[in-house]
Structure 1
Amino acid sequence: MTTSLLTSSGLISSGFHALSEPLRIRILETLRSQELCVADLCEHLDVSQSKLSFHLKTLRAAALVRPRQEGRWVYYSLNLPQFVVLEQYLADYRRFAVMLPTANREVPAATNSNKI
């Protein structure tokens, strides 16, 4: 496996891991409309700075957010290209949709071979 595939695989895995926690989803939702500093995020989400920092570290490792230092403040914003990577990964599975049974398709009744 090439290094780029391993890197991509790791980012995809860490991206979905990061999305598995409700507070991290709330952080991302809060950052949808604007870049915010940690203090503002704490206030918006009503969480402690230590708890928020823990979750921001996971989101940074997954490349879903990017920090920007301005003086003593760190501002966070969404890293939209990484969301595109995750979206593309899932989109690749759409080709399997034709194999899935639809809700409208009738499933054949099971036959009982023991009937006489």
Structure 2
Amino acid sequence: MPFGGNEWDKSKMVAQKDILDQVLHHFRQSDVEKLEDDKNFTAREFKTRNYLGSFGIISSIANPFCYSCNRIRLTANGQLKYCLFSNSETDLLTPFRNGEAIENLIAFAIKNNNPLT
């Protein structure tokens, strides 16, 4: 996700269309199949005929997926982030180290930082 300081840097962006154009430079259109998106996808998945595996493209700026995201993140320093692009974090490490329950903090953070609720 091309951002620093929670600001998009479009100069670092590579759009899904640009990636697929590069793929189609090497493969025929009929050999590249779009796979069905999972319910809470982040990557749009594709398969190339006669090759094992698949590849995914996470194009968060050109093709946002925020509406289907159901992820929370725990940072290395014990902060809960609802969204990678959010400035909001909830400190879980301090209460955890103090022996306090953190379940209510997690529930509160999710409920109050969810832009879809």
TM-score by length of 1: 0.24
Q: Which has the higher contact order (CA 8 A, sep 6+)?
A: 1
For the pair shown, which has the larger CA radius of gyration, 1 or 2?
1
- Return the structure number with greater helix share: 1
Structure whose residues are more often strand by fraction: 2
